[in-house]
Amino acid sequence: MPSDEVTINYRHGLPVITLMLPTRSERCQFTVKPVVTTVGAFLQDVQREDKGIERAEVFATDGSKVSDATLMEVLLMNDFKLVINNKAYSVSPPVKDKLSSEHATEMDDIKSLVHRLFVALHLEDHQIRKERELLQKLDHLKGELLPLEQMKARIMDSADAKTSRLLWVGLALMSTQGGALAWLTWWVYSWDIMEPVTYFITYGSAMAFYAYFVLTKQDYIYPHAKDRQFLHYFYRKSKKQRFNVERYNKLKDDLAEAEESLRRLRQPLQLRLPIQEINNKD
C-alpha cells in the first residue's frame, strides 16, 4: 500500500479514514461518526490536525464539489476525490454488508434518537437567540410605526369629519328639494304642472346612480359610498401631509410577521415543552 494513499476501514462499526498529512509527513487516522459528522466538520478536523493545509475539499467522481453540509454517511456510499492543498486522492470506500431489515430498522431508530438528542441539546440556545432577534426587530418596527400611527390617526379624524359633513349636506339638500317641491305644488303651481317636473327629477336621479355604477363598477349602496368618499379624503390628505401609505403598510406587514414568528416560537410544541394533558372524560 502506498504511504500517501487514503484508506477507509471500519472499526467497531465506525469508519476510520487514514491519510498522509503533507506538512508533518506522517499518516493520521480520523474516526468519524457518519450519522452526525458532516463533510465540512471532517475537513476542519483535518486542517486542525495539520496547520499547513490551506485547501481541503471533496469532489464527486464527476468533478462536482460535495457540499460541506453533506453527511459523511452519504459521502461514504460512493467513490470520491479528496483534495488537500494541490494534491488529489481517489478514495474508494469499502462496501458494507447489507443490513437485515430488523437491523436497518434499529439503525433508523438510533439515527432518529441521535437527531432528537442533538436538537434537544442545541434547541434552547437557538430559541433564546432567535427570540432576542425577534424582540429587537419588534422594538425597531414599533419605533418606526409610532410617528406614522399618530399621523394616520390625525388624517383619519380629518377624513371622517369631512365625510360626515358631506352626509349632512346631502341630507340638507334632499330636505330643501322636498320642501321646494311641496311649496311649488301647493302654493305656487298645481300638481298637474309639477308632476312632469318630479318625473324628470326622479329620472335624473336614476341616471346619476347609473353613472356612479359605470364609473366605480359598484352599486350605489350608502355604506359603500361613504367608505369610498372617506378613502378619497384620506388619500388626498395623506398626499398633502406626505404620509407614505405604502411604507406604513409594509411596516405593518413586517410587524405582523414578526409577531406571528414570535408566537410560533413560544408555542409549547416548538419549544419541546410538556403540554398539560386534558383529563379524559369518565
State pLDDT tens for residues 265-277: 777 544 444 434 4
Supply the Cα-derived Rg of the chain in whole angstroms: 39
**Euclidean distance between CA atoms 248 and 237, whole angstroms:** 15
CA atoms within 13 A on the CB side of 223: 0
Out of 11-25, 119-133, 221-235, least confident range: 119-133
- Triad 34, 40, 42: Cα angle to 5°: 55
* Continuous segment of H or E residues that includes residue 18: strand 14-21
Helix (H, G, I), strand (E, B) or coil at 32: coil
On whether the CB atoms of residues 229 and 166 are closer than 8 A, the answer is: yes
Alpha helices, H only, 35-184: 39-49, 72-75, 101-183
Q: What is the pLDDT of residues 173-222, one digit of tens each?
A: 888 988 988 888 888 888 888 888 888 888 888 888 788 788 878 777 77
Q: What's the mean pLDDT when you consider all of the chain?
A: 79
pTM score of the predicted model? 0.45
Backbone angles phi, psi at 65, to 5 degrees: -75, 140
* Nine cell digits for residue 178: 322636498
DSSP state at residue 4: T
What are the beta bridge partners of residue 9? 16
* Nine cell digits for residue 48: 486542525
